[in-house]
A and B are shown apart, each in its own frame.
Chain A
């Protein structure tokens, strides 16, 4: 008789790490299955300088275009960090020809928490009530009050640096000291506050990068490229923070190279009883048994596992009596913004590479405010600095004086880059492509996803409003833009197994528990009922911790 674990967690990234930590700390014998290889701090390369990589950061583009033609679309898939992204040949997916989608993936211990953008913003009831208010899709089964204590719980552990603003639509948390704005950012902040008082607020990004030592992890040393790892564990990832805690309980079994094919369902007990795994190295099939299963494999991989787990009772995918599994796929629309040059002090420059930018929270369609021609809103991330030697190509001259002139920093530049809410839409969906399997023989997804007119309108408005703000600060060379990014590029994909009150229209209940199967939980981005415009990871973390506590309580009462 094989061992039966108390819990099986599928995935070791942002949410899998949290499930591993919370479940093992509650005393559960927990098996964590990770499709990819082991990663430790020994894999980190953030201090390898340009002259120690072959192409100095220009990347091995011939190899990359052959093995990672899709992954390289992500800025972080570079000469250092491409090893944290999947091989596209081993990990195919398909789309209709007219619906491009970028599926950007990290399959290794730590998942994408190694290369994530680290921006962390709470949702509010402006977001949780949005579907109900607008008559779009279905209502969230939870409100801010349900998740607020769990935001506190995860943020205290993660360590979020940021500035408290007291905004009802962007709630504050137990922040570490904020990183500082540079001179140009301070000028833009002040000009925006003067021209749009009470409406637009520029602040430093709230981010999962430590500004003070915290829970045994060190404060940031400002080397810059977090996506290459962090030997001081100053930014949050599951490798840096949650998995070591789970490991220390001695209750966790972490198994890399474990490609989950599907779940095992017992029709008599109406429970999942285990997980079918293809060993990533030997390609042998193995089964593991568990009393409760947490899917934390990422929005699209969790949907794929359930869709690949068909049974006579669930012919369209496990836990899919609603028919909503795989549907309502969203990804933040991004790329409406503007850049320009700022007349900030010429005798100043930033020193050190701050791994964080500015944030300007949503200001459209707030409660009690004016209504726009579109629904919902967007927020800006942004960055600013002074130009360096890169401007030399088009700086006239050459020779000793010119080399000397390049020592002086160039003009201050500033960019606003918008991230907008994506409305849930049933016609944006994933299904199993019956004609394609991955390198482990697992059928792959066919992804159907396009942005609609509301997303387009948001980015148009974001571009215009950004240019207005730069004009207000007296910027020059202002260039508004709308990047035509395909969905997936923001890497904020969510939906596909949404939470809801009604089992007929949703896959999960208010506790991320499958309506159809009580011992099955999905706590990654698949659970999201709408997308808001905030970077979603901290919300996934809070929902995961909350679902773990709920599951542990049910298990203690023997109700699972």
Chain B
């Protein structure tokens, strides 16, 4: 399929928006329409949807956009595709699968199919388990729980995105000044 027929499929309105460089967006829209394979490089459609759901429960939209709007799932996929060692990638995907295992044990459905209440209930359990793991002495912790890894990825992916850095954290590239003891609730120039 060439670019012209891609744009044709999307219709004229989308074509106007699809400036050069937005081909990835075009691709995503196509995939949504065709309902087929994931636009991600490592995560399959269900895995991708699970990551989106997890990140959005951890960092939801409030008065600022959440992890979903910041496309943390795409950053996670990039790390899995280009940054992670094979063993790390396998470990992440295996951990992701256990979320569904736990979801089915708890509410009889995959995580993405649970109600917001179901999802919060499971994450409360997983969050407690991560806290217990963290409370153990370093030598006796065993492998890091998947959820803790996911929580870190969500934080990092969100606060290093433009949405998270600028809108939630009020990150200023050029603060222009240093105020050593500013009010803690001031926003200008902080991270």
Name A's B-contacting residues (CB within 8 A): 47, 49-51, 54-58, 60-62, 179-183, 185-186, 220-223, 345-354, 386, 388-390, 392-394, 396-400, 403-404, 407-409
User: With A55-B83, A183-B181, A223-B174 as given contacts, are A352 and B189 in contact (CB-CB < 8 Å)?
Assistant: yes
* A to B contact number (C-beta, < 8 Å): 140
CB-defined A-B contacts under 8 Å, sample of 17: A55-B83, A179-B178, A181-B180, A186-B180, A349-B184, A350-B180, A351-B178, A352-B177, A352-B189, A354-B178, A354-B180, A389-B155, A389-B169, A394-B134, A396-B131, A398-B57, A404-B62
Q: Contact: A223 with B177, CB < 8 Å?
A: no
Size category of the B interface is 35 or more
Q: Contact: A403 with B59, CB < 8 Å?
A: yes
User: In whole angstroms, how far apart are the Cα atoms of A392 and B168 in the complex?
Assistant: 14
Contact of B179 among A220, A223, A347, A351 (CB under 8 A): A351
Q: Contact: B174 with A221, CB < 8 Å?
A: yes
User: In whole angstroms, how far apart are the Cα atoms of A104 and B178 in the complex?
Assistant: 31
Q: Is B25 an interface residue (CB 8 A)?
A: no
Q: Is B127 an interface residue (CB 8 A)?
A: yes
User: In whole angstroms, how far apart are the Cα atoms of A185 and B178 in the complex?
Assistant: 14
Query: Smallest distance from the beta carbon of A168 to chain B beta carbons, Å?
Result: 29
User: In whole angstroms, how far apart are the Cα atoms of A404 and B152 in the complex?
Assistant: 17
User: In whole angstroms, how far apart are the Cα atoms of A90 and B13 in the complex?
Assistant: 52
Main SS at interface, chain A: loop
Q: Contact: B175 with A348, CB < 8 Å?
A: no
Interface residues in B114-168 by Cβ distance below 8 A to A read: 120, 123, 127-128, 131, 134, 148, 151-152, 155-157, 159-162, 165, 168
Contact of A222 among B160, B168, B177 (CB under 8 A): B177
User: With A51-B162, A55-B79, A58-B83 as given contacts, are A397 and B190 in contact (CB-CB < 8 Å)?
Assistant: no
Which residues on the B side are within 8 Å of A345 (C-beta)?
181
Q: Contact: A350 with B131, CB < 8 Å?
A: no
Q: Contact: B178 with A352, CB < 8 Å?
A: yes
Q: Contact: B151 with A393, CB < 8 Å?
A: yes
User: In whole angstroms, how far apart are the Cα atoms of A346 and B123 in the complex?
Assistant: 30
Q: Contact: A348 with B79, CB < 8 Å?
A: no
Which residues on the B side are within 8 Å of A409 (C-beta)?
184, 190
Query: Smallest distance from the beta carbon of A384 to chain B beta carbons, Å?
Result: 10
Contact of A62 among B83, B148, B186 (CB under 8 A): B83
Contact of B190 among A62, A223, A349 (CB under 8 A): A349
6 A-B pairs with least C-beta separation: A352-B178, A352-B175, A50-B160, A56-B160, A182-B180, A351-B182
Q: Is B188 an interface residue (CB 8 A)?
A: yes
Q: Contact: B127 with A398, CB < 8 Å?
A: yes
User: In whole angstroms, how far apart are the Cα atoms of A51 and B160 in the complex?
Assistant: 6
Q: Which of A182, A345, A393 has the most CB of B within 10 A?
A: A393
User: In whole angstroms, how far apart are the Cα atoms of A398 and B148 in the complex?
Assistant: 11
Q: Contact: A49 with B171, CB < 8 Å?
A: yes
Which residues on the A side are within 8 Å of B186 (C-beta)?
349, 351
Q: Contact: A403 with B178, CB < 8 Å?
A: no
Q: Contact: B175 with A222, CB < 8 Å?
A: yes
Which residues on the B side are within 8 Å of A393 (C-beta)?
148, 151-152, 155
Query: Smallest distance from the beta carbon of B125 to chain A beta carbons, Å?
Result: 12
User: With A221-B175, A351-B178, A393-B148 as given contacts, are A399 and B188 in contact (CB-CB < 8 Å)?
Assistant: no
Which residues on the A side are within 8 Å of B90 (C-beta)?
none
Which residues on the A side are within 8 Å of B188 (C-beta)?
351
Q: Is B11 an interface residue (CB 8 A)?
A: no
Q: Is B75 an interface residue (CB 8 A)?
A: yes
User: In whole angstroms, how far apart are the Cα atoms of A390 and B160 in the complex?
Assistant: 11
Q: Contact: B62 with A403, CB < 8 Å?
A: yes
Query: Smallest distance from the beta carbon of A218 to chain B beta carbons, Å?
Result: 11
Query: Smallest distance from the beta carbon of B11 to chain A beta carbons, Å?
Result: 30
Which residues on the B side are within 8 Å of A349 (C-beta)?
181-184, 186, 190
